[in-house]
Homo-oligomer: A and B are copies of this chain.
Amino acid sequence: MQYQHNFNPTISDEEIFEKILDEKEIIGYYNLPQQDTDEYKEFAKNVHQTNIVVIGIGGSTLGTYAIYKYLKHSKQLDKKLHFLETTDPIDIQSKLENINLNDTLFIVISKSGTTVETISIFKYIHSLVKINKDNCVVVTEDDSKLRTYADINGMRSFDIPKNVGGRFSVFSAVGLLPLAIVGLNIDDILKGAKFVHDSFFEKKSFYNRLINKARFLVEYKNSFNVNVVFSYSSRLEGFNKWYIQLWGESLGKVDINSARQGLTPIGIIGPIDQHSFLQLIMEGKRDKTITVIKVKNFYNHLKIPDVTLEGLENLDYLNGLEFSELINKQADATIEAVNNLNDIPCDVITIDGMCESAIAALMYEYELLTSLCAKFMYINAYDQPGVESGKIILKEKLMQKGNS
């Protein structure tokens, strides 16, 4: 009988680590923190446009958006980053309304080079403004059709390495190019990722932390099939979306025994979702693990003033409190309430401050965690065969229309 456990409880930390080391020879994202960033910085220096519009979808935008959303209000940026990613006509139109297209650099990002949404929007842009090598660059694989288009038109193109998958590509040109252009420090981004890389591969703190967490999540995946990331800052909304793609697409797979696997990612925001999802966590079925993400330092001293509202005097205990302290105490209260129940697995990640390295470290940590879970589950984290059938059906539908 041909059968391998889809989780082998006797597999040692060392064996899993060896498998990751082997994979590191083949899968490109692991080594992105060691990259030379000169070509991005050099290009960024010469961009004169104020608006940077990324045309892309999924792995081509989510990671960049996560970092930009986290930092944009804490840094003095003189350029604005926009994302065109969906075929919803009202969305496209309303986003473009507020952008001066004559003062815009377009960055077209598609790993395959033929993503339907991306090329559709890019074509539409051609009807609004003259596109040429001065206002457009592409980021794609070096032999894609989008690359051919760029070469024919003398446009600059940046490579996505073949062995770096879309959802693992934030530390490649996909993320670094637009983020460098808007004025973020991409060396600090890589420094944050490299810190986690080194800690894990040199078997320091992240080694135990990540292997233990992945082992737990996979060992108990049939009890806890839902993994909730509860981020206590609205700045992490983009991170949550990126996490959902990373986790869902990487771990929703058929394993070596043809058994369906999958851990379901949910991303929520505190304290907003204390008023939405928390009730389900507290009293609902015990099918969820919780990871609370806290921001240690908001570098912001916005404060509840010493104001008494007549009738509402019993809320005067809030007076004088900084909002950053309030939101962190709200996170602590949630953690304590969950832990008091004793039957919901809950861990806490605290990131330090509104800086490039903090958010990058968090993202690299999640990439490693995803790879580890996939290894424990005997699945391939890096493909997405399940979405192909829908693409084929769509193409058939559109081709039929062309013939009718």
Q: Which residues 95-117 of A have a CB within 8 angstroms of B?
A: 113-114, 116-117
A231 vs chain B, min Cβ distance (A): 10
User: Which chain B residues lie closer than 8 Å to A254 at the CB level?
Assistant: 283
Q: Contact: B326 with A87, CB < 8 Å?
A: yes
Distance of A279 Cα from B262 Cα, bound (Å): 10
CA distance A58 to B273 in the complex (A): 7
- Residue among B57, B314, B333, B401 making CB contact with A393, cutoff 8 Å: B333
Stretch from A14-22, A198-206, A382-390 forming part of the interface with B: A382-390
B-binding segment of A27-35, A174-182, A317-325, A359-367: A317-325
A residues sitting closer than 8 Å to B (CB atoms) are 57-59, 62, 73-74, 85-94, 113-114, 116-117, 119-120, 122-124, 126-127, 145-153, 166, 225-226, 233-235, 241, 244-245, 248-249, 251-254, 260-262, 264-266, 269, 271-272, 274-288, 298, 300-305, 307, 309-312, 314-315, 317-319, 321-327, 329-330, 332-334, 336-337, 340, 354, 384-387, 389-391, 393-395, 397-399, 401-402
On whether A302 and B272 interact (CB within 8 A), knowing A283-B252, A287-B225, the answer reads no
Whether the Cβ atoms of A277 and B304 lie closer than 8 Å is no
Could you list some 11 contacts between A and B, CB below 8 A? A86-B271, A88-B235, A90-B235, A91-B234, A92-B323, A119-B312, A226-B226, A261-B285, A329-B398, A333-B397, A336-B390
Neighbour of A275 across the interface among B57, B150, B333, CB < 8 A: B57
| CB-based contact B225/A277 at 8 Å | no
Q: Given A234-B88, A274-B387, A314 and B120 touching (CB < 8 A)?
A: no
Distance of A309 Cα from B121 Cα, bound (Å): 12
Chain B residues lying within 8 Å of A386, measured Cβ to Cβ, are: 278-283
Q: Is the CB of A311 within 8 A of B148?
A: yes
Query: Residue on B with the closest CB to A264?
Result: B226
A89 touching B298, Cβ below 8 Å: yes
A262 lies within 8 A of B284 (CB): yes
Which chain B residues border A314 with CB–CB below 8 Å? 114, 145
The residue from B114, B271, B329 contacting A315, defined by CB atoms under 8 A apart:
B114
The answer to whether A280 and B305 touch across the interface, beta carbons within 8 angstroms, is: no
CA distance A145 to B313 in the complex (A): 9
Instruction: Find A87's partner among B124, B152, B266, B271 (CB 8 Å cutoff).
Output: B271
Q: Are A285 and B225 in contact (CB under 8 A)?
A: yes
* Residue in chain B with minimal CB distance to A250: B279
For A325, the closest partner residue in chain B by CB is: B401
Tell me which residues across on chain B come within 8 A of A307, comparing CB atoms.
123, 126-127
The complex places the Cα of A284 from the Cα of B59 at a distance, in Å, of 19
Known: A244-B276, A245-B276, A274-B387. A124 touches B304 (CB 8 A): yes
Q: Are B272 and A85 in contact (CB under 8 A)?
A: yes
**Cross-chain contact of A149 among B234, B309, B398 (Cβ < 8 A):** B309
CA distance A223 to B73 in the complex (A): 44
Q: Are B312 and A234 in contact (CB under 8 A)?
A: no
Task: Determine the chain B residues whose CB is within 8 A of the CB of A148 once the complex forms.
Answer: 310-312
Instruction: Report B-chain residues with C-beta under 8 Å of the C-beta of A85.
Output: 272
With A86-B272, A124-B304, A332-B397: A385-B283 Cβ-Cβ less than 8 Å:
yes
Q: Which residues of B contact A57 (CB under 8 A)?
A: 271-272, 275
A358 to chain B, nearest CB (A): 14
A389-B337 in contact (CB<8A)? yes
Contact B119 A90, beta carbon cutoff 8 Å: no
- A311 / chain B contacts, CB cutoff of 8 Å: 145-152
Query: Contacts of A89 on B, CB cut-off 8 Å?
Result: 298, 300-302, 322-324, 327
A150 and B311 alpha carbons, distance in the complex (Å):
8
Evaluate contact between B74 and A384: CB separation under 8 angstroms. Answer: no
Chain B residues, CB < 8 A from A241: 276
